[in-house]
Amino acid sequence: MVGFSAAVIRRQQFLLRCLVGYNISSKNLSYTTIKMQSLVSGGSPDFAISILRSITPSLDSSRHKGQAGKIAVVGGCREYTGAPYFSAISALKIGADLSHVFCTKDAAAVIKSYSPELIVHPILEESYSVRDEDKKSISAKVIEEVDKWMERFDCLVIGPGLGRDPFLLDCVSDIMKHARQSNVPVVIDGDGLFLVTNCLELVSGYPLAVLTPNVNEYKRLVQKVLQSEVNDQNGTQQLVSLAKGIGGVTILRKGGSDFISNGDAVGAVSAFGSPRRCGGQGDILSGSVAVFISWARQCSAKRELSLSPTVMGCIAGSVLLRKAASHAFESKGRSTLTTDIIDYLGRSLEEFCPVTRRDK
């Protein structure tokens, strides 16, 4: 730990107090009094990779379309079409079978042109195109259309490219309420976090909600929930308090190290990564986490795991993105873009979970 600051040492000491024994094999994790193994700065990535391996399904001929995950991204408006694409295509690149995007009509054709692999639903509306007297009926139509699909989805991603139009946010609020009623996990990023920060009851007390704030989004959440400023000296303790303050949601605080907590324990993923900070990496992460949550829930249903599926999904999504980003930076250097990182998602997952001859 030579050269570590006192704050980092205190953080590590707190993380270590959260640990309990575990026994890991490549496809099974058994826990006693399970909390979470932490990956402190400079530590081994083995635990995060083991989590990823334990929830990644094998490939075999007995599986059918849809079993590996059906993900939906709610986002995309006139100004922002790249973010929902990045999130949705990343889910497919990792291994989800189907990926949907629910966006505004203005965004739909553009997003469709990016890839024929995505199922695009142009059902959302912005205020400029809706008369006041029509808002109630149009909102009802949006919910009716989404509800046709809701029970099919394994996870929703809320927020990439959503924008902050008031009517659009009202419709998305209703979608989130219906997802919660249907017990569908939600990963909230981007402008979805703006919505949630101003309407905490949308996720408060919902254990299948995941928030993925960056530094500024995290600051606003801390100010809103804890009524204080971000305290990096006791950052992990504050993260636990924040997750508890929102009723046990899982929070993935993005940064140099990604810190994850559901209010019970806290862990960190600091391995791999890239110094390049091009926009869109958070969108990759949201799609990745959604897929891994759906896989972790499948494992939990079989009683193979006892750790929260949302926590496992965050750990797996974080370490995979960091690995792909490191590969992309090695290849492209300063010119690395989000699309370059997406191209390395499959290779990175293959390095962690090689497809065996038997799987083929």
- Looking at the DSSP bridge assignments, the partners of residue 74 are 102, 158
Query: Would you say 180 is a known binding-site residue?
Result: no
For residues 79 and 88, the answer to whether their CB atoms sit within 8 Å is no
CA angle 99, 184, 339 (to 5 degrees): 30
Residue ranges of E strands in 32-185:
70-74, 98-104, 119-124, 155-158
Query: Would you say 278 is a known binding-site residue?
Result: yes
For residues 47 and 269, the answer to whether their CB atoms sit within 8 Å is no
Query: Would you say 282 is a known binding-site residue?
Result: yes
Query: Would you say 46 is a known binding-site residue?
Result: no
3-state DSSP assignment of residue 336:
coil
Query: Would you say 28 is a known binding-site residue?
Result: no
Give the integer Cα–Cα distance in Å for 245 and 225: 6
Residue 211's Cβ-side half-sphere holds a number of Cα atoms within 13 Å equal to: 37
Query: E strand or H helix at 209, and its extent?
Result: strand 209-211
Query: Would you say 215 is a known binding-site residue?
Result: yes
3-state DSSP assignment of residue 1:
coil
Query: Would you say 18 is a known binding-site residue?
Result: no
Query: Would you say 279 is a known binding-site residue?
Result: yes
Q: What are phi and psi of 267, to 5 degrees?
A: -135, 165
For residues 45 and 39, the answer to whether their CB atoms sit within 8 Å is yes
Query: Would you say 277 is a known binding-site residue?
Result: yes
Q: Strands 22-24 and 29-31, how do they pair?
A: antiparallel
Query: Would you say 216 is a known binding-site residue?
Result: yes
Q: What does the DSSP assignment read for 142-158?
A: HHHHHHHHHTT-SEEEE
- Looking at the DSSP bridge assignments, the partners of residue 102 are 74, 121
Query: Would you say 276 is a known binding-site residue?
Result: yes
Query: Would you say 256 is a known binding-site residue?
Result: yes
Query: Would you say 274 is a known binding-site residue?
Result: yes
Query: Would you say 66 is a known binding-site residue?
Result: no
Query: Would you say 218 is a known binding-site residue?
Result: yes
Query: Would you say 219 is a known binding-site residue?
Result: yes
User: Annotated binding site for (6S)-NADPHX: which residue ranges?
Assistant: 161, 214-220, 283
User: Annotated binding site for ATP: which residue ranges?
Assistant: 254-258, 273-282
User: Annotated binding site: which residue ranges?
Assistant: 161, 214-220, 254-258, 273-283
